[in-house]
Amino acid sequence: MAWPFRSLPLLCLALFPSSASAMPATSLLQSLESAAQLFAAHRDAVVRVLCLFHREDGTAVARMGSGFFFDGDGHVATTAGAIDGAEEIFVSYGHRSSRAHAIGSDAETRVAVLALDEASPPYPCLSLGEGMELPPPLTPLLAIACEIGLDPAPSLGIVQAEQICHGGNSFATSLIRSSLPSNAGAPGSPVFDLRGNFVGMLMASIPQVDGSFLFPARALRRVLRDILPYGSVHHAYAGLDTRLERDEEGDFFAIVQAVVPHSPAAEANLCPGDRILAIDDVPIRGPAELCDAVFFALPGAPLSLKIQRGGDIFRVALRMAIRRWDGQGAE
């Protein structure tokens, strides 16, 4: 197939920006061939999401997004931003189009799930993988997006960093910062590495640097597992406030500032001033480890916390509750 790019130098810069001039032609061609094969294999699972709204004056407004089938029953993963407030939702794939409805969404992560009103499975779908590691910087990426409502098309980029906050706001879990473009209609598109592994879903643009944030595959699996049966995500609640500090060697730890009475933290006998050194044997090296541990915790399941209190180091089992939207715990 002919590859839809303007020039070889642009391809080099997109795939291998730090060594484009020294990239052997055979390596570049092999990478492009891998990307072409991935695009051909997965494009049929990518869909256009069209949402219709009406202004107060009665005029219709359309909002476009991307999405993809993640199971053979026709369930579509997309972004909540594409469907919020929609009066009608349509999903187009291949040469077909169907009305759809929202099964549910998560206000914290902005992930949504759609179901087709006229379902006729099986559908081509993407595997969300099983790994928990985020791809390292400079990993080449392929996104398949339906920008401005067009047919699925490929874009190339790289992983730039792991990101836990932006503009003073913290994310619910670590996101992937990438050089992939995020033009109108692109959020909700699937992203792969060139080995064929699903990396995550494109969520939002970073216009200042012409890049984007990706919601990682591991986090998407956790969110979809709840939205499908419940229509929402059961986030975990511990009932304690913490802040991050560094010790004399410069290592991070989380210190407990307050414990809510009758909360899971109180039942585990945590106290203000306790140092949390590790969660489930993962050392606290910064805000990412703390946020990710809470995000992936399952309500009702215990977390093993390594605690330092004075000169003593011990472990406690913290059994998480379900967090309500008022911020309190629930049984």
Q: Could you please report the per-residue DSSP string of 184-197? A: TT-TT-EEEETTS-
Residue in this structure with the two tokens 């998480």, named with its chain if needed: 320
Please check whether residue 170 lies inside any domain of the structure.
Answer: yes
Look at residue 74 in the predicted model and tell me its pLDDT: 92
CB 254 within 8 A of CB 284: yes
What is the chain's pLDDT, residue by residue, as a tens digit (331 residues)? 444 443 444 455 555 554 445 556 677 788 889 999 999 999 999 999 999 998 888 888 899 999 999 999 999 999 999 899 899 999 999 889 999 999 999 999 999 999 999 888 899 999 999 999 999 999 999 999 999 989 999 999 999 999 998 877 889 999 999 999 889 999 999 999 999 999 999 999 988 888 999 999 999 999 999 999 999 999 999 999 999 888 888 888 899 999 999 999 999 999 999 999 999 999 988 889 989 999 999 999 999 999 999 999 999 999 999 987 554 555 4
Q: Do residues 222 and 250 share a domain?
A: no
Sheet strands (E) in 107-251: 111-116, 140-145, 153-166, 169-178, 190-193, 198-206, 211-216, 236-237, 240-246
Please check whether residue 200 lies inside any domain of the structure.
Answer: yes
* Joined tokens for residue 215: 């919601």
Number of domains forming the structure of the chain = 3
Instruction: Enumerate the H helices of the chain as residue ranges.
Output: 8-15, 25-42, 80-83, 217-230, 264-267, 287-296
Residue 208's contacts (CB-CB under 8 Å, 6 or more residues apart) are: none
Q: Do residues 102 and 158 share a domain?
A: no
Residue in this structure with the two tokens 């597992």, named with its chain if needed: 225
Side chain identity at residue 322, one-letter code: I
Rg of the Cα atoms in the chain: 22
Q: Do residues 75 and 217 share a domain?
A: no
- CA nearest neighbour of 223 among 180, 184, 264, 175: 175
Q: Do residues 143 and 225 share a domain?
A: yes
Quote the Cα angle for 131-163-316, to 5°.
65
User: Which domain covers residue 78, as residue numbers?
Assistant: 44-116
* Joined tokens for residue 74: 């026709």
CB 70 within 8 A of CB 77: yes
Which of the listed residues 82, 116, 150 is the one where a domain comes to its end?
116
CB 301 within 8 A of CB 295: no
Q: Do residues 59 and 205 share a domain?
A: no
The CATH number of the domain where 48 resides is what?
2.40.10.10
Look at residue 328 in the predicted model and tell me its pLDDT: 52
Residue 232: Cβ within 10 Å count: 15
CB 99 within 8 A of CB 118: yes
The CATH number of the domain where 281 resides is what?
2.30.42.10
Q: Do residues 32 and 174 share a domain?
A: yes
Residue 317: Cβ within 10 Å count: 12
Look at residue 23 in the predicted model and tell me its pLDDT: 58
Q: How far is CA 192 from CA 141, 165, 166, 198, 212, in A?
A: 6, 23, 23, 4, 14
Residue in this structure with the two tokens 């492009």, named with its chain if needed: 32
Residue 140: Cβ within 10 Å count: 19
Q: Do residues 107 and 142 share a domain?
A: no
What gap in Å lies between CA 73 and CA 224, rounded to an integer? 14
CB 165 within 8 A of CB 122: no
- CA nearest neighbour of 300 among 275, 317, 279: 317
- CA nearest neighbour of 113 among 164, 145, 67: 67
Quote the Cα angle for 284-299-198, to 5°.
70
pTM above 0.75, yes or no: yes
Look at residue 24 in the predicted model and tell me its pLDDT: 66
What gap in Å lies between CA 65 and CA 202, rounded to an integer? 11
Q: Do residues 186 and 290 share a domain?
A: no
Q: Do residues 34 and 60 share a domain?
A: no
